[in-house]
Structure 1
Amino acid sequence: MLLHTHLTLLDGSRVRLRLPQARDRAGLLALLGRVGVGIDLLDLQRTLRFDPQRRAVVFATTWTPGAVAGETVVGVGAVTFAHGTPDLLIADEASAPGLGAALADVLHTAASARRAA
């Protein structure tokens, strides 16, 4: 999976794709609040910590002046390689139009590549 790279969305905005980091907890909670999704703490921990042999998790961020580390989490997605389809996909479409579909494509490609290897 291509990580630490950028995607250009339909409106021309760019998002950065990267692996989750421990400091993303607050950003993930803020994203969930913006899109109105609840999550329990165990699921939150599973999103931030995962087995890369069985699952891929990717965060999408935008550069935001004044934000922690200069970025705002605008999306998160995950795929379990054995299943091949995203089992977690949350995108702030108001901040990043088209991100949900773009993340789904990235995750599907990662799972397909993993199964082919």
Structure 2
Amino acid sequence: MTRNRSSAKAAGSRFERSIADGLAQALNDDRIDRRVKTGAKDRGDIGGVRIHGQRLVIEAKDCSRQELPKWTREAQLEAGNDDALTGVVVAKRRGTTNPLDQWVHMTVRDLVALITGQKQEHP
């Protein structure tokens, strides 16, 4: 069955809900939830995630074709909109529905920020 815009949006919403619920349960934090879409100043798909006392933006993607450069740029832009430490992409892993078994994508710059708790500015 091919996707249309409506079915793709529904799949994306289900995936976001799954990731939010999985993270909230795994981290025992009821502040983690799906975010309402905010248009041009989007702040990511999942809110309430903290690391080193700072926000972490999560952009969730349930797409058949991976577009990692585009997705990571989007997560970084949204991290800026949210004044977050950094942003990461959680992408659907085919063959499993367990939210904790999905893929996480980021740049090494983002990984360093997660480890140190400090934003890594571009030179």
Q: Same fold (TM over 0.5)?
A: no
Looking at secondary structure, tell me which structure has more strand per residue. Answer: 1
Question: Larger radius of gyration, structure 1 or 2?
Answer: 2
TM-score by length of 1: 0.32
